[in-house]
């Protein structure tokens, strides 16, 4: 075989091996810390509608960053009779969430591998207070980051392993309440 043919074949073999290795390498999932930071950016009050973005039943959500930034608490319909809370946090560098449902159960979630920078997918990861094979629970969720001031939630309701419906929330950030400047206090009288 001519010298140049062997060099060419060696180069082709090396390129094929590189291409096969790249194709076989697992795709990297979303960056858990970056997604968590995005959730922290939601801090504040949000209002909107369920199902129909303009005329559906009204909903409110409040996000609070707590525990020196180690948790984000999401209050769904705060102060209402069916208030629910979801707590987002990092455990060993991985995003986790626990939903404290008005139904009295606590499904747990992890970051879904198909999440993107604009779509947070919550995958079911067990929980307490229910039997996932038999009872009703919120099996998975989504937060779509539409813009810095608009998000959408979707919550997938299951009874046992069967989906029963989806709740879709359309939310807009409310302006932060401005605090009135403190009134000047009179100077203490000289004694």
In a domain? residue 88? yes
The 10s digit of each residue's pLDDT in 128-172 is 999 999 999 999 999 999 999 999 999 999 999 999 999 999 999
Cα–Cα distance list, 58 to 3, 74, 157, 170, 171 (Å):
76, 17, 19, 10, 10
Domain with 111, as residue range(s), is: 32-173
In a domain? residue 178? no
Is residue 121 scored above 90 in pLDDT?
Answer: yes
In a domain? residue 190? no
pLDDT at 191: 56
Candidates 125, 172, 135, 177; CA nearest to 150 is 172
Report, in this order, helix, strand and coil percent for the chain, each rounded to 5: 20, 45, 35
User: Which CATH number goes with the domain that contains 48?
Assistant: 2.40.128.20
What is the C-alpha to C-alpha distance for residues 151 and 38, in angstroms, rounded to an integer? 12
């Amino acid at each position: 075989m001519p010298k140049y043919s062997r060099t060419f074949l060696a180069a082709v073999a090396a390129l094929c091996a590189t291409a096969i290795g790249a194709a076989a390498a697992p795709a990297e999932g979303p960056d858990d810390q970056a997604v968590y930071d995005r959730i922290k950016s939601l801090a504040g009050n949000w209002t909107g509608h369920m199902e129909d973005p303009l005329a559906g039943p009204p909903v409110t959500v409040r996000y609070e960053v707590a525990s020196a930034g180690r948790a984000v608490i999401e209050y769904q319909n705060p102060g209402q009779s069916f208030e629910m809370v979801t707590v987002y946090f990092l455990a060993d560098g991985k995003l986790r969430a626990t939903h404290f449902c008005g139904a009295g159960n606590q499904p747990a979630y992890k970051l879904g591998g198909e999440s993107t920078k604009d779509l947070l997918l919550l995958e079911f990861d067990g929980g307490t207070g229910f039997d996932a094979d038999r009872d009703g629970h919120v099996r998975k969720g989504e937060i779509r980051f539409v813009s810095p001031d608009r998000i959408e939630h979707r919550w997938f309701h299951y009874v046992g392993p069967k989906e029963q419906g989806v709740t879709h929330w359309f939310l807009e950030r409310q302006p932060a309440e401005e605090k009135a400047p403190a009134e000047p206090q009179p100077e203490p009288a000289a004694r």
